[in-house]
Amino acid sequence: MRITRAIVAIVVVLSAGVLAGTANAAEPSPFTVVNGSINPATGTPVPPSGTHATLWRNSSHATTVLQGSGQLVVGAIGDECDGWPVVRVSVGGQPVGEVTVTSGTDYGSYLVGAPLAYGRHSVRVELVNDRYTATCDRNVHVAYARTQAAGPVDTTFGFAVVPDTQEEVLTAGDTRMRQRIDWLVAQRAALDLRFVTHSGDVVNYDTPDHVQYARASAALRPLEAAGLPYTLAVGNHDTQVFGPDGAQRRPAGPLLRDTTTFNRYFTADRFGVVGGRFEPGKVDNVYATYRAGGVQWLVLTLELWPRRAAVAWAQRVVAAHPRHNVIVVTHHFLESDATIGQSAGFGSTSPQYVFDNLIRRYANIRFVFSGHTGTAASRVDIGLHGNRIHSFLQTFHSPRTNPVRLVEIDTAANSLRTWIHAPYTDEDFPAHTRTYPNLGLLR
Protein backbone atom coordinates (compact mmCIF):
# COMPACT_ATOMS: atom_id res chain seq x y z
CA MET A 1 0.00 0.00 0.00
CA ARG A 2 1.68 3.21 -1.14
CA ILE A 3 0.57 6.83 -1.17
CA THR A 4 3.82 7.59 -2.95
CA ARG A 5 7.24 5.99 -2.91
CA ALA A 6 8.88 9.37 -3.23
CA ILE A 7 7.86 10.51 0.22
CA VAL A 8 10.33 8.53 2.29
CA ALA A 9 11.21 10.94 5.06
CA ILE A 10 7.72 11.41 6.45
CA VAL A 11 6.94 9.29 9.51
CA VAL A 12 3.27 8.59 10.06
CA VAL A 13 2.32 7.61 13.59
CA LEU A 14 -1.14 6.28 14.33
CA SER A 15 -1.81 5.51 17.96
CA ALA A 16 -4.00 2.77 19.31
CA GLY A 17 -7.64 3.55 18.82
CA VAL A 18 -7.14 5.79 15.78
CA LEU A 19 -8.67 4.17 12.73
CA ALA A 20 -7.76 5.59 9.34
CA GLY A 21 -10.83 6.13 7.18
CA THR A 22 -13.22 3.80 9.02
CA ALA A 23 -16.20 3.95 11.31
CA ASN A 24 -16.00 3.11 15.02
CA ALA A 25 -14.53 -0.32 15.71
CA ALA A 26 -15.78 -2.74 18.37
CA GLU A 27 -12.56 -2.17 20.30
CA PRO A 28 -9.66 0.22 19.77
CA SER A 29 -6.69 -1.12 17.87
CA PRO A 30 -4.09 -2.62 20.20
CA PHE A 31 -1.28 -1.25 18.02
CA THR A 32 0.65 1.96 17.67
CA VAL A 33 1.95 2.15 14.10
CA VAL A 34 4.91 4.00 12.61
CA ASN A 35 5.05 4.41 8.82
CA GLY A 36 1.84 2.48 8.47
CA SER A 37 -1.87 2.75 9.16
CA ILE A 38 -4.78 1.17 10.99
CA ASN A 39 -7.30 -0.18 8.49
CA PRO A 40 -10.47 -2.28 8.50
CA ALA A 41 -9.77 -5.97 8.82
CA THR A 42 -10.07 -7.89 5.55
CA GLY A 43 -8.95 -11.33 6.72
CA THR A 44 -10.52 -13.99 8.88
CA PRO A 45 -11.17 -14.56 11.68
CA VAL A 46 -12.02 -10.92 12.25
CA PRO A 47 -10.05 -9.56 15.26
CA PRO A 48 -11.98 -7.98 18.17
CA SER A 49 -11.01 -4.46 17.03
CA GLY A 50 -12.24 -5.10 13.50
CA THR A 51 -8.96 -3.66 12.29
CA HIS A 52 -5.41 -4.57 11.39
CA ALA A 53 -2.14 -2.63 11.33
CA THR A 54 -0.85 -2.23 7.78
CA LEU A 55 2.95 -2.04 7.32
CA TRP A 56 4.17 -1.05 3.88
CA ARG A 57 7.89 -0.40 4.02
CA ASN A 58 10.95 -1.63 5.91
CA SER A 59 10.71 1.31 8.29
CA SER A 60 7.13 0.31 9.16
CA HIS A 61 6.43 -1.22 12.53
CA ALA A 62 3.57 -1.83 14.94
CA THR A 63 3.97 -1.97 18.71
CA THR A 64 1.76 -3.19 21.50
CA VAL A 65 2.07 -4.19 25.16
CA LEU A 66 1.04 -7.61 26.43
CA GLN A 67 0.54 -8.77 30.00
CA GLY A 68 0.96 -12.47 30.64
CA SER A 69 3.12 -15.49 29.89
CA GLY A 70 3.42 -18.26 27.36
CA GLN A 71 4.05 -18.62 23.66
CA LEU A 72 3.99 -15.38 21.65
CA VAL A 73 1.57 -15.61 18.72
CA VAL A 74 1.17 -13.10 15.88
CA GLY A 75 -1.80 -13.07 13.50
CA ALA A 76 -1.30 -11.46 10.10
CA ILE A 77 -2.12 -11.61 6.40
CA GLY A 78 0.10 -10.42 3.56
CA ASP A 79 0.22 -9.17 -0.01
CA GLU A 80 2.45 -11.40 -2.16
CA CYS A 81 4.89 -9.63 -4.50
CA ASP A 82 7.77 -11.79 -5.76
CA GLY A 83 7.50 -13.56 -2.42
CA TRP A 84 5.51 -13.23 0.80
CA PRO A 85 6.20 -10.60 3.48
CA VAL A 86 8.52 -11.43 6.37
CA VAL A 87 8.09 -9.77 9.77
CA ARG A 88 10.67 -9.56 12.54
CA VAL A 89 9.28 -9.68 16.07
CA SER A 90 11.04 -8.13 19.06
CA VAL A 91 10.18 -8.32 22.75
CA GLY A 92 11.62 -5.71 25.11
CA GLY A 93 13.78 -4.37 22.28
CA GLN A 94 15.38 -7.77 21.52
CA PRO A 95 14.57 -9.71 18.32
CA VAL A 96 13.00 -13.07 19.13
CA GLY A 97 12.27 -14.37 15.64
CA GLU A 98 10.93 -13.87 12.14
CA VAL A 99 7.97 -15.38 10.34
CA THR A 100 6.91 -15.48 6.71
CA VAL A 101 3.25 -14.53 6.34
CA THR A 102 1.91 -16.85 3.66
CA SER A 103 -1.79 -16.08 3.33
CA GLY A 104 -3.72 -13.11 2.01
CA THR A 105 -6.97 -14.10 3.71
CA ASP A 106 -6.32 -16.10 6.91
CA TYR A 107 -4.70 -14.25 9.81
CA GLY A 108 -3.36 -17.57 11.05
CA SER A 109 -1.37 -18.05 14.23
CA TYR A 110 2.37 -17.63 13.74
CA LEU A 111 4.37 -18.79 16.76
CA VAL A 112 7.45 -16.66 17.42
CA GLY A 113 10.38 -17.18 19.77
CA ALA A 114 10.61 -19.03 23.04
CA PRO A 115 7.79 -18.92 25.62
CA LEU A 116 7.71 -15.72 27.67
CA ALA A 117 7.84 -15.59 31.45
CA TYR A 118 4.98 -13.87 33.22
CA GLY A 119 5.15 -10.10 33.04
CA ARG A 120 4.55 -7.02 30.96
CA HIS A 121 6.05 -7.33 27.47
CA SER A 122 6.57 -4.63 24.86
CA VAL A 123 6.15 -6.28 21.44
CA ARG A 124 7.24 -4.80 18.13
CA VAL A 125 6.38 -6.25 14.70
CA GLU A 126 8.25 -4.85 11.68
CA LEU A 127 8.28 -5.58 7.96
CA VAL A 128 11.80 -6.53 6.83
CA ASN A 129 11.54 -7.50 3.15
CA ASP A 130 9.53 -4.74 1.50
CA ARG A 131 9.11 -4.84 -2.27
CA TYR A 132 7.24 -2.51 -4.63
CA THR A 133 7.08 -2.76 -8.42
CA ALA A 134 4.91 -1.46 -11.20
CA THR A 135 2.73 -4.57 -10.90
CA CYS A 136 2.72 -5.55 -7.22
CA ASP A 137 3.24 -4.26 -3.70
CA ARG A 138 4.38 -6.42 -0.77
CA ASN A 139 2.70 -5.37 2.50
CA VAL A 140 1.73 -7.05 5.74
CA HIS A 141 -1.39 -6.53 7.84
CA VAL A 142 -1.05 -7.45 11.53
CA ALA A 143 -4.31 -8.32 13.29
CA TYR A 144 -3.09 -9.22 16.76
CA ALA A 145 -0.23 -10.23 19.02
CA ARG A 146 -1.00 -12.33 22.06
CA THR A 147 0.34 -15.03 24.33
CA GLN A 148 -1.04 -18.50 24.76
CA ALA A 149 -0.21 -21.35 27.07
CA ALA A 150 2.95 -23.00 25.85
CA GLY A 151 2.24 -26.60 25.01
CA PRO A 152 4.81 -29.37 24.68
CA VAL A 153 7.21 -28.87 21.77
CA ASP A 154 7.41 -31.62 19.17
CA THR A 155 11.19 -31.77 18.96
CA THR A 156 11.43 -34.37 16.18
CA PHE A 157 10.46 -33.62 12.60
CA GLY A 158 11.53 -34.42 9.06
CA PHE A 159 12.13 -32.96 5.63
CA ALA A 160 12.85 -34.54 2.26
CA VAL A 161 15.37 -33.85 -0.49
CA VAL A 162 14.44 -35.09 -3.96
CA PRO A 163 17.47 -35.83 -6.18
CA ASP A 164 17.78 -35.38 -9.97
CA THR A 165 14.51 -36.45 -11.58
CA GLN A 166 15.56 -35.85 -15.19
CA GLU A 167 15.24 -39.54 -16.08
CA GLU A 168 11.67 -39.66 -14.74
CA VAL A 169 9.97 -37.21 -17.11
CA LEU A 170 11.08 -38.56 -20.49
CA THR A 171 7.93 -40.56 -21.25
CA ALA A 172 4.26 -40.15 -20.43
CA GLY A 173 4.09 -43.64 -18.92
CA ASP A 174 6.82 -43.08 -16.35
CA THR A 175 5.04 -42.58 -13.02
CA ARG A 176 8.08 -42.56 -10.74
CA MET A 177 8.17 -38.81 -10.02
CA ARG A 178 4.46 -38.58 -9.23
CA GLN A 179 4.59 -41.80 -7.20
CA ARG A 180 7.39 -40.38 -5.04
CA ILE A 181 5.43 -37.18 -4.38
CA ASP A 182 2.23 -39.10 -3.62
CA TRP A 183 4.23 -41.27 -1.22
CA LEU A 184 5.71 -38.25 0.57
CA VAL A 185 2.26 -36.74 1.01
CA ALA A 186 0.90 -40.06 2.28
CA GLN A 187 3.82 -40.39 4.71
CA ARG A 188 3.65 -36.78 5.86
CA ALA A 189 2.32 -37.61 9.32
CA ALA A 190 4.49 -40.69 9.84
CA LEU A 191 7.66 -38.77 8.90
CA ASP A 192 6.38 -35.47 10.35
CA LEU A 193 7.46 -33.81 7.10
CA ARG A 194 7.63 -30.02 7.24
CA PHE A 195 9.36 -29.22 3.95
CA VAL A 196 10.38 -30.78 0.64
CA THR A 197 13.22 -29.53 -1.54
CA HIS A 198 14.76 -30.67 -4.82
CA SER A 199 18.48 -30.44 -5.61
CA GLY A 200 18.03 -29.74 -9.33
CA ASP A 201 17.76 -31.25 -12.81
CA VAL A 202 14.02 -31.47 -12.44
CA VAL A 203 13.84 -32.17 -16.20
CA ASN A 204 16.31 -33.48 -18.76
CA TYR A 205 15.97 -30.85 -21.51
CA ASP A 206 13.39 -28.53 -22.99
CA THR A 207 11.29 -29.31 -26.06
CA PRO A 208 9.09 -27.05 -28.22
CA ASP A 209 5.98 -28.29 -26.39
CA HIS A 210 7.71 -28.15 -22.95
CA VAL A 211 6.29 -31.58 -22.20
CA GLN A 212 8.92 -32.53 -19.63
CA TYR A 213 8.12 -29.40 -17.63
CA ALA A 214 4.42 -30.18 -17.88
CA ARG A 215 5.00 -33.70 -16.51
CA ALA A 216 7.16 -32.44 -13.65
CA SER A 217 4.66 -29.69 -12.89
CA ALA A 218 1.78 -32.14 -12.66
CA ALA A 219 3.84 -34.51 -10.50
CA LEU A 220 4.45 -31.79 -7.90
CA ARG A 221 0.84 -30.66 -7.59
CA PRO A 222 0.02 -33.00 -4.64
CA LEU A 223 2.47 -31.05 -2.46
CA GLU A 224 0.48 -27.89 -3.08
CA ALA A 225 -2.86 -29.62 -2.52
CA ALA A 226 -1.53 -30.90 0.82
CA GLY A 227 -0.14 -27.49 1.81
CA LEU A 228 3.36 -28.97 2.10
CA PRO A 229 5.85 -26.22 1.17
CA TYR A 230 8.71 -26.94 -1.22
CA THR A 231 11.44 -25.39 -3.33
CA LEU A 232 13.35 -26.49 -6.43
CA ALA A 233 17.00 -25.81 -7.22
CA VAL A 234 17.79 -25.09 -10.87
CA GLY A 235 20.09 -27.66 -12.47
CA ASN A 236 21.99 -27.37 -15.73
CA HIS A 237 19.33 -29.49 -17.46
CA ASP A 238 16.62 -27.08 -16.26
CA THR A 239 18.07 -24.32 -18.45
CA GLN A 240 18.41 -23.84 -22.21
CA VAL A 241 21.92 -25.32 -22.30
CA PHE A 242 20.58 -28.69 -23.49
CA GLY A 243 18.46 -28.76 -26.63
CA PRO A 244 15.61 -31.10 -27.62
CA ASP A 245 18.12 -33.72 -28.75
CA GLY A 246 19.84 -33.66 -25.36
CA ALA A 247 23.04 -32.18 -26.83
CA GLN A 248 24.79 -29.24 -25.19
CA ARG A 249 24.29 -25.97 -27.04
CA ARG A 250 26.52 -22.90 -27.31
CA PRO A 251 27.18 -20.43 -25.85
CA ALA A 252 26.62 -22.41 -22.68
CA GLY A 253 27.25 -19.53 -20.25
CA PRO A 254 24.34 -17.28 -21.28
CA LEU A 255 22.09 -20.27 -21.91
CA LEU A 256 22.70 -21.46 -18.32
CA ARG A 257 20.95 -18.30 -17.09
CA ASP A 258 18.03 -18.69 -19.48
CA THR A 259 15.47 -20.21 -17.15
CA THR A 260 12.43 -18.68 -18.80
CA THR A 261 10.60 -21.98 -19.26
CA PHE A 262 11.48 -23.19 -15.77
CA ASN A 263 10.05 -20.01 -14.25
CA ARG A 264 6.94 -20.25 -16.38
CA TYR A 265 6.08 -23.61 -14.81
CA PHE A 266 7.46 -23.16 -11.29
CA THR A 267 6.71 -20.01 -9.29
CA ALA A 268 7.08 -18.63 -5.78
CA ASP A 269 3.30 -18.87 -5.38
CA ARG A 270 3.47 -22.60 -6.02
CA PHE A 271 6.30 -23.13 -3.53
CA GLY A 272 4.19 -21.66 -0.75
CA VAL A 273 6.53 -19.96 1.74
CA VAL A 274 9.04 -17.95 -0.28
CA GLY A 275 10.13 -14.91 1.72
CA GLY A 276 12.32 -13.30 -0.93
CA ARG A 277 14.26 -13.79 -4.12
CA PHE A 278 17.32 -12.43 -5.88
CA GLU A 279 15.55 -11.48 -9.13
CA PRO A 280 11.92 -10.43 -9.67
CA GLY A 281 9.76 -13.06 -11.30
CA LYS A 282 12.36 -15.84 -10.96
CA VAL A 283 12.87 -18.69 -8.50
CA ASP A 284 16.51 -19.38 -9.42
CA ASN A 285 17.59 -17.89 -6.06
CA VAL A 286 14.99 -17.80 -3.28
CA TYR A 287 14.70 -18.31 0.45
CA ALA A 288 11.89 -19.73 2.55
CA THR A 289 11.47 -19.85 6.32
CA TYR A 290 9.54 -22.11 8.64
CA ARG A 291 9.51 -23.21 12.27
CA ALA A 292 9.87 -26.83 13.38
CA GLY A 293 11.16 -28.63 16.45
CA GLY A 294 10.87 -25.39 18.40
CA VAL A 295 13.56 -23.66 16.29
CA GLN A 296 13.61 -21.52 13.16
CA TRP A 297 14.75 -22.72 9.73
CA LEU A 298 15.69 -20.98 6.51
CA VAL A 299 15.98 -22.88 3.21
CA LEU A 300 18.22 -20.99 0.77
CA THR A 301 18.02 -22.22 -2.83
CA LEU A 302 21.00 -21.02 -4.87
CA GLU A 303 21.46 -21.15 -8.64
CA LEU A 304 24.02 -23.50 -10.22
CA TRP A 305 27.60 -22.15 -10.29
CA PRO A 306 26.16 -18.85 -9.07
CA ARG A 307 26.95 -15.35 -10.16
CA ARG A 308 28.92 -13.34 -7.63
CA ALA A 309 25.94 -11.00 -7.25
CA ALA A 310 23.75 -13.99 -6.34
CA VAL A 311 26.27 -15.09 -3.69
CA ALA A 312 26.32 -11.53 -2.31
CA TRP A 313 22.52 -11.60 -2.12
CA ALA A 314 22.71 -14.93 -0.27
CA GLN A 315 25.19 -13.40 2.19
CA ARG A 316 22.73 -10.63 2.96
CA VAL A 317 19.88 -13.10 3.46
CA VAL A 318 21.84 -15.28 5.88
CA ALA A 319 23.19 -12.28 7.78
CA ALA A 320 19.67 -10.88 8.14
CA HIS A 321 18.45 -14.12 9.77
CA PRO A 322 21.07 -14.80 12.48
CA ARG A 323 18.74 -16.95 14.62
CA HIS A 324 17.63 -19.20 11.77
CA ASN A 325 19.32 -22.54 11.10
CA VAL A 326 20.17 -22.31 7.41
CA ILE A 327 19.87 -25.11 4.84
CA VAL A 328 21.54 -24.37 1.49
CA VAL A 329 20.33 -26.25 -1.59
CA THR A 330 22.21 -25.92 -4.89
CA HIS A 331 22.65 -28.28 -7.81
CA HIS A 332 26.43 -28.78 -7.65
CA PHE A 333 28.44 -28.67 -4.43
CA LEU A 334 29.87 -32.11 -3.57
CA GLU A 335 31.62 -34.42 -6.02
CA SER A 336 31.02 -38.17 -5.99
CA ASP A 337 34.02 -38.69 -3.66
CA ALA A 338 32.59 -36.15 -1.14
CA THR A 339 35.12 -33.45 -2.03
CA ILE A 340 33.91 -29.92 -2.69
CA GLY A 341 33.71 -29.15 -6.41
CA GLN A 342 36.46 -26.97 -7.87
CA SER A 343 35.03 -26.21 -11.32
CA ALA A 344 32.62 -23.44 -12.25
CA GLY A 345 31.48 -25.49 -15.23
CA PHE A 346 29.94 -23.10 -17.71
CA GLY A 347 28.72 -20.87 -14.88
CA SER A 348 30.31 -18.09 -12.85
CA THR A 349 31.73 -19.44 -9.59
CA SER A 350 32.76 -22.86 -8.30
CA PRO A 351 31.38 -24.78 -5.31
CA GLN A 352 34.66 -23.97 -3.56
CA TYR A 353 33.98 -20.26 -4.08
CA VAL A 354 30.50 -20.71 -2.59
CA PHE A 355 31.99 -22.55 0.38
CA ASP A 356 34.68 -19.92 0.98
CA ASN A 357 32.45 -16.89 0.52
CA LEU A 358 29.14 -18.11 1.95
CA ILE A 359 28.93 -21.56 3.54
CA ARG A 360 31.83 -21.35 6.01
CA ARG A 361 31.48 -17.64 6.80
CA TYR A 362 28.21 -17.69 8.74
CA ALA A 363 27.69 -19.36 12.11
CA ASN A 364 24.06 -20.27 11.38
CA ILE A 365 24.62 -22.34 8.20
CA ARG A 366 24.00 -25.97 9.15
CA PHE A 367 23.41 -28.08 6.02
CA VAL A 368 24.14 -28.15 2.27
CA PHE A 369 22.35 -30.45 -0.18
CA SER A 370 23.37 -30.95 -3.81
CA GLY A 371 23.09 -33.33 -6.77
CA HIS A 372 24.51 -33.27 -10.32
CA THR A 373 27.19 -35.93 -10.02
CA GLY A 374 27.82 -39.38 -8.56
CA THR A 375 25.31 -41.26 -6.44
CA ALA A 376 25.39 -40.22 -2.77
CA ALA A 377 28.02 -38.90 -0.37
CA SER A 378 28.41 -36.74 2.73
CA ARG A 379 31.02 -34.74 4.63
CA VAL A 380 31.34 -32.51 7.69
CA ASP A 381 33.26 -29.22 7.70
CA ILE A 382 33.93 -26.69 10.43
CA GLY A 383 32.96 -23.10 9.70
CA LEU A 384 34.94 -20.02 10.63
CA HIS A 385 32.87 -19.69 13.81
CA GLY A 386 33.39 -23.32 14.89
CA ASN A 387 30.00 -24.49 13.67
CA ARG A 388 29.65 -27.89 12.04
CA ILE A 389 28.44 -27.86 8.43
CA HIS A 390 26.95 -31.13 7.16
CA SER A 391 26.88 -31.53 3.37
CA PHE A 392 25.01 -34.25 1.50
CA LEU A 393 25.04 -35.38 -2.12
CA GLN A 394 22.15 -37.30 -3.65
CA THR A 395 21.89 -37.77 -7.42
CA PHE A 396 21.42 -41.44 -8.49
CA HIS A 397 20.14 -40.83 -12.08
CA SER A 398 18.24 -44.07 -11.64
CA PRO A 399 16.66 -45.69 -14.72
CA ARG A 400 14.38 -47.95 -12.63
CA THR A 401 13.36 -46.44 -9.29
CA ASN A 402 12.96 -43.11 -7.49
CA PRO A 403 15.22 -42.51 -4.45
CA VAL A 404 14.59 -39.66 -2.03
CA ARG A 405 16.75 -38.50 0.87
CA LEU A 406 14.82 -38.32 4.14
CA VAL A 407 16.15 -36.27 7.03
CA GLU A 408 15.00 -36.49 10.64
CA ILE A 409 16.01 -33.75 13.07
CA ASP A 410 15.73 -34.13 16.83
CA THR A 411 16.19 -30.68 18.33
CA ALA A 412 16.11 -32.01 21.90
CA ALA A 413 18.94 -34.44 21.19
CA ASN A 414 20.60 -31.92 18.83
CA SER A 415 20.98 -34.72 16.27
CA LEU A 416 20.29 -35.69 12.67
CA ARG A 417 19.52 -39.00 11.01
CA THR A 418 19.30 -39.33 7.23
CA TRP A 419 18.57 -42.27 4.98
CA ILE A 420 17.58 -42.88 1.36
CA HIS A 421 14.45 -44.74 0.37
CA ALA A 422 12.94 -45.48 -3.06
CA PRO A 423 9.16 -45.85 -2.69
CA TYR A 424 8.64 -47.10 -6.26
CA THR A 425 10.48 -50.34 -5.50
CA ASP A 426 10.18 -50.11 -1.70
CA GLU A 427 13.96 -50.14 -1.56
CA ASP A 428 16.44 -48.79 0.99
CA PHE A 429 20.08 -47.83 0.46
CA PRO A 430 21.65 -48.54 3.88
CA ALA A 431 25.16 -47.68 2.71
CA HIS A 432 24.10 -44.01 2.69
CA THR A 433 22.41 -43.91 6.12
CA ARG A 434 24.10 -41.43 8.44
CA THR A 435 23.58 -40.23 12.02
CA TYR A 436 25.24 -37.10 13.40
CA PRO A 437 25.15 -35.71 16.97
CA ASN A 438 26.09 -32.25 18.23
CA LEU A 439 24.49 -30.21 15.45
CA GLY A 440 24.78 -26.99 17.42
CA LEU A 441 21.30 -25.82 16.49
CA LEU A 442 20.33 -22.22 17.23
CA ARG A 443 17.27 -21.78 19.43
Write the class of the CATH domain 156-436: alpha beta
Task: Say which amino acid occupies 345.
Answer: G
Residue ranges of the chain that CATH labels 2.60.120.260: 13-148
Task: Say which amino acid occupies 248.
Answer: Q
Residue ranges of the chain that CATH labels 3.60.21.10: 156-436
- pLDDT tens profile 199-242: 999 999 999 999 999 999 999 999 999 999 999 999 999 999 99
Q: How far is CA 388 from the centre of its chain?
A: 21
CB 387 within 8 A of CB 372: no
What pLDDT, on a 0 to 100 scale, did the predictor assign at position 1? 54
> Is pLDDT at 46 greater than 50 in this prediction?
yes
CB 149 within 8 A of CB 125: no
> Is pLDDT at 435 greater than 70 in this prediction?
yes
CB 75 within 8 A of CB 135: no
What pLDDT, on a 0 to 100 scale, did the predictor assign at position 15? 46
The 3-class secondary structure across the chain, one letter per residue, is CCCCCCCCCCCCEECCCCCCCCCCCCCCCCCEEECEEEEECCCECCCCCCEEEEECCCCCEEEEEEEEEEEEEEEEEECCCCCCCEEEEEECCEEEEEEECCCCCECCCEEEEEEEEEEEEEEEEEECCCEECCCCEECEEEEEEEEECCCCCCCEEEEEEECCCHHHCCCCCCCHHHHHHHHHHHCHHHHCEEEEEECCCCCCCCCCCCHHHHHHHHHHHHHHHCCCCEEECCCHHHCCCECCCCCECCCHHHHHCCCHHHHHHCCHHHHCCEEEECCCCCCCCEEEEEEECCEEEEEEEECCCCCHHHHHHHHHHHHCCCCCEEEEEECCCECCCCCECCCCCCCCCCHHHHHHHHHCCCCCEEEEEECCCCCEEEEEEECCCCCEEEEEEECCCCCCCCCEEEEEEECCCCEEEEEEEECCCCEECHHHCEEECCCCCCC
What pLDDT, on a 0 to 100 scale, did the predictor assign at position 2? 53
Q: How confident is the model at residue 113 (pLDDT cuts 50, 70, 90)?
A: confident
Which CATH number describes the domain made up of 13-148? Answer: 2.60.120.260
Task: Tell me what the mean pLDDT of segment 277-284 comes to.
Answer: 94
What rounded mean pLDDT belongs to the chain? 92
> Is pLDDT at 61 greater than 50 in this prediction?
yes
Task: Tell me what the mean pLDDT of segment 240-265 comes to.
Answer: 93
Lowest mean pLDDT segment, chosen from 3-7, 189-193, 404-408: 3-7
What pLDDT, on a 0 to 100 scale, did the predictor assign at position 108? 86
